[in-house]
Amino acid sequence: MLTLTEKIIQKHLVSGEMKRGTPIQIKMDQTLTQDATGTMAYLQLEAMGIDKVKTEVSVSYVDHNTLQSGFENADDHKYLQTVANRYGVVFSKPGNGICHQVHLERFAKPGKTLLGSDSHTPTAGGMGSLAIGAGGLDVACAMAGRPFSLVMPKIVNVQLLGTLPHGVGAKDIILKVLEIMSVKGGVGKVIEYSGEGLACLSVPQRSTITNMGAELGATSSIFPSDEKTLEFLTKQNRAGDFVELKADEGAVYDETIVIDLSQLQPLAACPHSPDAIKTIESLKGMKVDQVAIGSCTNSSFTDLMTVANILKGKKVHPDVSLVLSFGSKQVLRMLADCGALSDIIASGARLLEATCGPCIGMGQSPKTNAVSLRTFNRNFYGRSGTMSAGVYLVSPETAAYSALCGYIADARDCEYEEVSMPDSYTIDDSMLLSADCDWEKEVVQGPNIKPFPVNTALEDTICKKVMIKVEDNITTDHIMPAGAKILPYRSNIEKISEFAFSQIDEQFANRCKEHQGGFIIARENYGQGSSREHAALAPMYLGIQMVIAKSYARIHRQNLINSGIVPCLFKDMQDYESISLLDELCVEHMHDLAVGKEIVVQNKTKNSTFTVTHDLNDREIETLKVGGLLNRIKKEIA
């Protein structure tokens, strides 16, 4: 008896056994990239020397760096379009929409595997796809036809019972799961949903839940493919893509969580973590300065129709700035055609284009000390662009009603018309450009695009100083911030490395340059959040050779290995406490690195010694010894 996840993995298994915690490799049917990570991914793909992508479909989206305040972003967009055309990748033009929303609408299929260079790629799990976020280099490898390596995950069954009450949304379901499991509770796991409660959840609602499953640290999240899936695909004119998929009766799960939807209350994730959950009831009356609705979590047609129904005939509170961004051109057109967009505009809301926008720090930073309600998936410290702001993650229902009231309000108290699925979706794929794979056409690289930095082989002895010491739950936003000032340098590692850790230690980059790099010391769940491999590439460029932490987020751990940085594990957190900034640490015999073999670390500054471990497998050790994944691939090709 197999779970839904096991069924899909079994069909795509290339090597290894479906034994929890053991290394496996699976074939990837589809890939997606976005412009903040895609430029590096395609530079890496070009370096592999293939003539055409080997997947069923690969799509390059432009949805993050759309603010063109200089030439850099526009140059990257031109590169992405021309390189996609050469290698057989579909190109989604700026303005066509957010990668996860558009992919769900036009490409995702039940039972298929999808690898994306964005941590919220599991959005497609709402369709019954096994969709996984990864670093750009892993996605480039998948486009080149190479299998994706991972550890066979544990599988958690979340049983949904009952029906959602009025004023409670799908966002509240995933916030409840985060309250139960925490931001590190999903590491090494796939979250698989089942139960009678599925009957009240459309594919867009399901995708809200699978999207924000990334905040659990989960490998992926997935729903069965059933009559709701068929309904969505039929209305997207893709009924031929439907396949019924569900777990076998009696399938065995590693954990089971039961949530009664009828008892669920509106919830909020409070500053500065997606698992800092409180009820809206406990926050009612808190003055609100800004409300931002959209992102890949809550920008579907049904989400924004719900918002329009709440706003219809009313005005946004004078003290609130309400801003909306749309998931896709399809969503925007349908809102315009049915008149809902007019209702939104009449309320006093501000409109952005169909992009990630403020979720990735591209504009709309709130005022000093603001309370900002956002329907997004992350509220990490400083991510909004205003360090003193308090960001609360809420449902579209809560956000819209609170924008009218001027304070945090409970949408169960608001009368509005419930939204059902549209009779059909407007289909217009004119901004999805197919490739002609014409190698005579130029791949255009602007002056901001620099070559992909390649690490050197692992040294046998590493004697370096501690460049930074950090606490629990350090995010990739902490390591490599986003925002309109920094994102344009995503294709220029030399420049972007200057901003590494800048929000918590402005001297990190200069310290690395002065001492030729060294060690990073951390606690639990190091590298949670975004898949951005720049959080590994920039430290690698600055000379970081080893990270020692209590535990790692899955994607960042893999990005460290791909970059040639050794991720080690503290055996005893007393050793963490004993280390200070600029302590000189030495490790020897790294060429003898092997599975299960401990590493002795000398702290020459403190005249002490301690032992660290690792959970590396043979393949990962081989990658580290040659200085990263690209070096290993080049060696294998040679």
What pLDDT is stored for residue 603 in this prediction?
A: 98
In a domain, 607, yes or no: yes
Residues 220 and 346 in one domain: no
Cβ distance 354 to 97 under 8 Å? yes
Residues 206 and 97 in one domain: yes
Quick one: which of 561, 554, 628, 571 has its CA closest to 21?
554
Tell me: cis bond preceding 589? Omega within 30 of 0 counts: no
CATH of the domain at 622: 3.20.19.10
Among the residue ranges 65-79, 310-324, 524-538, 542-556, the one predicted with the least confidence is 65-79
3-state secondary structure of 33: strand
pLDDT above 90 covers what percent of the chain?
87
Quick one: which of 97, 135, 85 has its CA closest to 115?
135
What pLDDT is stored for residue 3 in this prediction?
A: 98
Check pLDDT > 70 for residue 140. yes
> What is d(CA 240, CA 461) in angstroms, rounded to the nearest whole number?
57
In a domain, 426, yes or no: no
Read off the pLDDT of each residue in 283-291 and give the average, rounded to a whole number. 97
- As a whole number, the mean pLDDT across the chain is 95
Among the residue ranges 379-388, 536-545, 554-563, the one predicted with the least confidence is 379-388
Among 205, 234, 263, identify where a domain stops.
263
In a domain, 66, yes or no: yes
Residues 290 and 207 in one domain: no
> What is d(CA 466, CA 420) in angstroms, rounded to the nearest whole number?
56
* pTM score of the predicted model: 0.93
> What is d(CA 332, CA 317) in angstroms, rounded to the nearest whole number?
24
> What is d(CA 354, CA 336) in angstroms, rounded to the nearest whole number?
13
Residues 151 and 258 in one domain: yes
Check pLDDT > 90 for residue 59. yes
Reported as a single tens digit per residue, the pLDDT across 450-508 is 888 889 999 999 999 999 999 999 999 999 988 778 888 888 999 999 999 999 999 99
In a domain, 433, yes or no: no
In a domain, 436, yes or no: no
* Number of domains within the chain: 3
Orientation of helix 203-212 relative to helix 227-235, angle to 10°: 110
Residues 236 and 96 in one domain: yes
Cβ distance 540 to 559 under 8 Å? no
Sign (positive/negative) of CA torsion 26, 31, 36, 38?
Answer: positive
158: domain range?
4-263
CATH of the domain at 259: 3.30.499.10
In a domain, 303, yes or no: yes
Read off the pLDDT of each residue in 113-134 and give the average, rounded to a whole number. 97
> What is d(CA 399, CA 393) in angstroms, rounded to the nearest whole number?
9
Quick one: which of 470, 380, 473, 571 has its CA closest to 185?
473
Residues 213 and 306 in one domain: no
> What is d(CA 91, CA 101) in angstroms, rounded to the nearest whole number?
15
What pLDDT is stored for residue 327 in this prediction?
A: 96
3-state secondary structure of 606: coil
Read off the pLDDT of each residue in 423-441 and give the average, rounded to a whole number. 96
Read off the pLDDT of each residue in 188-195 and give the average, rounded to a whole number. 98
Give first-to-last CA distance, the chain, whole Å.
43
Reported as a single tens digit per residue, the pLDDT across 224-270 is 999 999 999 999 999 999 999 999 999 999 999 999 999 999 999 99
What pLDDT is stored for residue 638 in this prediction?
A: 66
